[in-house]
Structures are given as C-alpha cells and as structure tokens.
Structure 1
Amino acid sequence: MPISPNQGSTGGGTTVTITGTNLGGATSVHFGTKTATITANTPTSVTVISPSGTGTVPVTVTTPGGTSNPLSFFYVGAPFKSSISPVSGITGGGNTVTINGTGLTTATAVHFGAATATPTVVNDGQLTVTAPAGAAAGPVSVSVTTAGGTNNGLTYTYVDGPTLGTLSPNSGPVSGGTGVTIPGTNLTTTESVTFGGTPAPFSVINDSTLSVVTPPGAVGATDVTVTTSGGSATATGGFTYLAGPGI
C-alpha cells in the first residue's frame, strides 16, 4: 500500500494519496494518533490532508472491513536560510546563486520575487540555483520551498547593466597616469575598469560618474570597458594613447 508523498510539513496541510485495495468507504486515516481529513476515496485510493506532527509516524486506513497495515510518513521542518551569495546580479538573470541554511534537502523551488527557479540541492545545508530574469532593477525577496514549507528572509538585488558616455579627457600619454572621468549610468557597483584589457585604478563618484587613472598603453585608440555586478559596457576606441615627442 504505497503513500505519496511520504513526507510533508510539520505544520500539516500536505495532500497525501494512499493507494491499495479494498479502501472504499474509508472511515478514517490516522497519522500517528492524529486523524487526517479525507478529501477523496475510491476502492483503490484514499486522498487526505495531513495533520500537523513531528518525526516519523505510522499511517493507517480504517474501513468497515478493518484497519490496514501501517505506512511511514516523515514530517519535515520548514527550511532556515542563513545566507545568499552573490547578493545581486544582472536583471536578465542567468548567474549562479548559492543559498546556505538548514533543511534544504527537499527543496523544490526558489522564488525570486514573482519569478521561480528550480534549485540543485548540494546537501542539507546548501543549494545552488540559476537566477531567473527580474522584472526590473531593484531588490526582491527570496524564498525556498521544501517539503517542510516555505521560508523567506533573504533579499537579492537585480542590477541593470552600465552605459558609458564620452571620456574626459579622451586622450593622454602612453606612459599612463592621466586622470579621466567616465560618465554613464548604473555605475555604483563597478567592479573593474580596463583600458585595452589592462586594469586601471578607479573610484566610484556616484551612479553616473567614475574617476579613473589610465594605465600605460600602446599608441592609438583603445577600448575602455567597465564591468559592474549588472554586466559590462565598452567604449570602443574610447581613449587614445598619444606618442611622446622626439627631437
């Protein structure tokens, strides 16, 4: 006599179907000492709503013909989430997010605001999930659904990708050391700035301005790339390295 699912929340409320023979006219279904609510009954199945409980309990079906052999049902506590990493990502989604906590073994879904993603369970204390696309930039609540229920409490922030304007000044010596202002949008979470692939020291002035010092480079126009937690943007040929004078 199978039972499906064979586990559910300690708070009860799980829809459980028990299949077997001679089950018609079931008068009661017990989860341990507690009685479940019968919602459907045929000669080969009984569907119930589990009562609250803890641990592992025997489940029996009583009909006018007697009481069945017991089946085991496992009560699972609600998950607890302790951390999420990274805490932000591009609005388009697609990056891998790790959630740590306890009671995650039976996780079936991770909700990012109104969007839902299917997780990969690493172990009871950790899962990974590919962040779905966000509706817009900004924070959303993150919840994990397991056989034990759904738990909230974490926040993930969607970030739009950066845009770049014209650098000022947009040229300087090949030796580097030129102070440059880069205008744009969504620059607050800037992680790196490169000139032709070479990293440059930078400071975030505000969401629309970066202050950068050029690294040494080769003569000619070079691409300038700004990478944020929301993605990357490149000013193609945005800065020109000038040859020094010769006499």
Structure 2
Amino acid sequence: MPISPNQGSTGGGTPVTITGTNLSDTSAVTFGSKPATSVTNVSPTEVTAVSPSGTGTVGVTVTTPGGTSNPLSFFYVGAPFKSSLGTTSGPLAGGNTITINGTGLSTATSVSFGGVTATPTVNSDSSLSVAVPAGAAAGPVAVSVTTAGGTNNGLSYTYVDIPDIGTISPTSGPASGGTAVTITGTNLDSTDSVTFGGTAAPFSVINATTLSAVTPPGTAGPVDVVVTNPAGSDTEVGAFTYVAGPGI
C-alpha cells in the first residue's frame, strides 16, 4: 500500500494519496498518533488525506470497518533556510545560472524570482543551482525556495539592464592619462568596469545616469570607451582621443 508523496512539511497541510485494496468506508487516516486533517475515500483502492503537523518519521495507517492497515513511512521535512545567493544580480533577459546556499534544500522543487518560477538542480542539502528566468523590469525582486518542507523567503536578486552611453565629456586628453571624464547615459548604477582603449580606468558611480572616470595612460589617437555591468556592455567607438604631448 504505497503513499505519495511520502514526505511533507512539519507544519502539516501536505495532500497525500494512499493506494491499496479494501479501502472502502475508510473511517480514519493517522500520521503517527495524529489523525489526518482531511480524509476522502476516493474508491475501494484509493484514499486521499491531508497530513497534520509533525516531526521526524511517522507511520501512516488507514482504518476501515475491517481493521487498521500496517503503517507506511511518512517523513516530515522542515522548511528550507537560505543563507545566501552565489550571485545577487544579473541581466534582465535572465538565462544565467546562480547558486543558492542554505539548509534543507534537498527536496527543492521550485525557485521564484519575483513570482516567476524556475526549476532548480539540487546539488546537495546545502546547495542548489537554478537558471534565472527573464525579469519584467530592472530592479530587485524577492527570491523564494519551495521544498517538501514549505517555502522560505528573505533573499533578493537584482535584475540589471544593459548600460547605454549617452555623452562623454571631455572627449580628449593627454596620452599620459589622468583626465577626469564624466560619462552620462542610462543603467549606469550597476557598472562594474570602464575601459579606455581596452585599459581599465578607475571610476565612481554617481547615480543611474552618471559616471565619473579617470583616463589611464594611452597611445595618441582615438580609442573606444566601454562601460560594462552584469547585463552586458556598451561601446562608444573612438569616443575619446588621446593627445600626444609636445616634443622638443
């Protein structure tokens, strides 16, 4: 006489189906010493019930006018605890795989990003991997994990849109570097690198539309300026020109 599923939340409320024979006129289903919160006799071979609260492993029995069945094992599982996201931001288009760390994750069936669900790959009881679904808009969303033990919330993931460079000022400076440059545009608040001619420049994020950078040394002539964030990069071709110093 199998039971499906054979595990559920310690808080109870898990619907289970018990199949077997001679189940007509079932009067009770018991989980350990506790009666099920709801019992439905579907047919002579099937009974459905809702588990009460409990802990550990308990025996589930069915009682009919003919007696009480042998017990079936049912495992109570605690709600998951999530301690961290391996990556806390990514592209609005989704598709990147992140790791979620915590405990009680071995029975995870879904991960929700702002209400959009994805199916995870369980690595262990303390780790799972999931491909992030596409987001509706740039910004933070709540992340929740659902397991046989329930759903746990409390983590946040930020969707990031690709940066877009608008203007660069000034557009030229000495090849020795050191020119303070202001870059304006959109989606700049999650910038993680700025390069001039492929060389990384020190920068500061002012706000979502403004960056401040200092040019590194370069070779005389125009170079590309590239702004990158977790969603991707935007390139302004030949947007800054290095000017050679005078020679005597």
Give your verdict on TM over 0.5. Answer: yes
Aligned pairs, number: 247
Q: Secondary structure at the match of 2:152?
A: strand
Match of 2:18 in 1: 18
Partners of 1:106 and 1:100 in 2: CA distance: 14
Partners of 1:192 and 1:38 in 2: CA distance: 60
Instruction: Confirm or deny: 8 A CA contact 2:172 2:240 kept in the other structure.
Output: yes
Q: Secondary structure at the match of 2:177?
A: coil
| Aligned residue type for 1:155 | S
Match of 1:79 in 2: 80
Task: For structure 1, list consecutive stretches of 5 or more residues without a partner in the other structure.
Answer: none
Q: Where do residues 1-247 of structure 1 align in structure 2 (5 Å cutoff)?
A: 1-36=1-36, 37-245=38-246
Q: Secondary structure at the match of 2:168?
A: coil
Choose 111-120 or 39-48, whichever is displaced more.
39-48
Task: For structure 2, list consecutive stretches of 5 or more residues without a partner in the other structure.
Answer: none
**By how many angstroms is 1:244 displaced?**
4.5
Partners of 1:40 and 1:221 in 2: CA distance: 79
Partners of 2:160 and 2:182 in 1: CA distance: 22
Partners of 1:145 and 1:49 in 2: CA distance: 18
**By how many angstroms is 1:206 displaced?**
2.5
The two structures, once aligned, show a CA RMSD in angstroms of 1.8
Choose 91-100 or 141-150, whichever is displaced more.
91-100
Instruction: Confirm or deny: 8 A CA contact 1:220 1:240 kept in the other structure.
Output: yes
Q: TM-score, normalised by structure 1?
A: 0.92
**By how many angstroms is 1:246 displaced?**
5.2
Choose 216-225 or 196-205, whichever is displaced more.
216-225
| Aligned residue type for 2:30 | H
Partners of 1:205 and 1:29 in 2: CA distance: 63
Partners of 1:155 and 1:203 in 2: CA distance: 24
Q: TM-score, normalised by structure 2?
A: 0.92
**By how many angstroms is 1:153 displaced?**
1.3
Deviations 1:174-218 (A, max 9, x none): 333322221112212211111222111112222222121222333
Partners of 1:40 and 1:95 in 2: CA distance: 46
